């Protein structure tokens, strides 16, 4: 299990007005709407989430890095837990023809509005109860999902991803903070986060879950 960063370049490319997030709208109301994970979250106003999440190719470099790091090859079975609209899985299929991909997300809207080329491989499901047999996948990933769960559910979800993909080829990325400034920014910016942990605390969760895979963090600097 090791710390790997695939995401920071994309994360830093998005400008964020942290103070504006809590002064320009009713933050509690916006968070309540965001947690429905429907159109407002994905394609509504920025105050509710992404502010419009359409395919723009930004996930291609991430897919290339993952494919190289994990030596992903044709015929491998890969699961994305919290796949959203499936853009990362789509990029992986373009890089590696013959890859068998499956994505799950709790958002019916996200799945219904996924990239057409990949939509038939995605389904609505909950990370706490993955609808797959033990050892069903060779590789599993989950980006920016498990911090949306309370700590006891996050540990259960980590156990689930370990169950369906017992190999070391797993990657989980979550939001975190290393100092008071990043903690404040995370609190200002987040809409759906339930677990606010330092990297050491997340590593404790990984250990409690028996998770054996790689992990990464994004910070709100």
CATH number (domain holding residue 27)? 3.40.50.150
Whether residue 95 is contained in a domain is answered as: yes
Domain that holds residue 98: 8-218
Whether residue 83 is contained in a domain is answered as: yes
Tens digits of per-residue pLDDT, 127-167? 999 999 999 999 999 999 999 999 999 999 999 999 999 99
Whether residue 167 is contained in a domain is answered as: yes
Whether residue 2 is contained in a domain is answered as: no
Q: What is the mean pLDDT of residues 170-181?
A: 98
| Confidence tier at 11 by pLDDT (50, 70, 90) | very high
User: For residue 9, is pLDDT > 80?
Assistant: yes
Tens digits of per-residue pLDDT, 24-53? 999 999 999 999 999 999 999 999 999 999
Say how far apart CA 112 and CA 109 lie, in whole Å.
5
Which of 50, 104, 60 lies closest to 79 in space, CA to CA? 104
Whether residue 3 is contained in a domain is answered as: no
How many independent structural domains does the chain possess? 1
Q: Buried b vs exposed e over 131-155: b needs ≥16 C-beta within 10 Å? A: ebeeebbbbbbbbbbbbbbebebbb
Whether residue 50 is contained in a domain is answered as: yes
Tens digits of per-residue pLDDT, 65-119? 999 999 999 999 999 999 999 999 999 999 999 999 999 999 999 999 999 999 9
User: For residue 1, is pLDDT > 90?
Assistant: no
The length of the chain in residues reads: 221
Tens digits of per-residue pLDDT, 187-201? 999 999 999 999 999
Say how far apart CA 193 and CA 129 lie, in whole Å.
20
**Average model confidence (pLDDT) across the chain:** 97
pLDDT at 80: 98
């Amino acid at each position: 299990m090791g710390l790997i960063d695939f995401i920071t370049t994309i994360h830093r490319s998005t400008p964020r007005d942290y103070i504006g997030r809590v002064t320009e709208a009713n933050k509690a109301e916006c968070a309540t709407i965001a947690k429905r994970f429907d159109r407002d979250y994905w394609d509504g106003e920025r105050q509710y989430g992404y502010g419009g999440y359409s395919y723009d190719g930004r996930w291609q470099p991430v897919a290339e890095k993952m494919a190289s790091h994990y030596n992903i090859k044709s015929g491998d079975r890969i699961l994305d837990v919290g796949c959203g609209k499936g853009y990362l899985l789509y990029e992986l299929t373009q890089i590696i023809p013959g890859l068998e991909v499956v994505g799950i997300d709790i958002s019916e809207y996200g799945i219904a509005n996924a990239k057409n080329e990949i939509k038939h491989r995605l389904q609505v499901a909950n990370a706490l109860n993955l609808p797959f047999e033990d050892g069903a996948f060779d590789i599993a990933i989950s980006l920016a999902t498990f911090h949306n769960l309370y700590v006891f559910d996050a540990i259960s979800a980590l156990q689930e991803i370990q169950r369906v993909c017992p190999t070391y080829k797993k990657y989980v990325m979550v939001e975190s903070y290393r100092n008071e400034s990043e903690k404040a920014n995370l609190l200002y910016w987040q809409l759906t986060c339930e677990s606010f942990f330092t990297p050491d605390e997340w590593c404790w969760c990984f250990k409690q879950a028996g998770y054996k895979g790689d992990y990464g963090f994004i910070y709100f600097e």
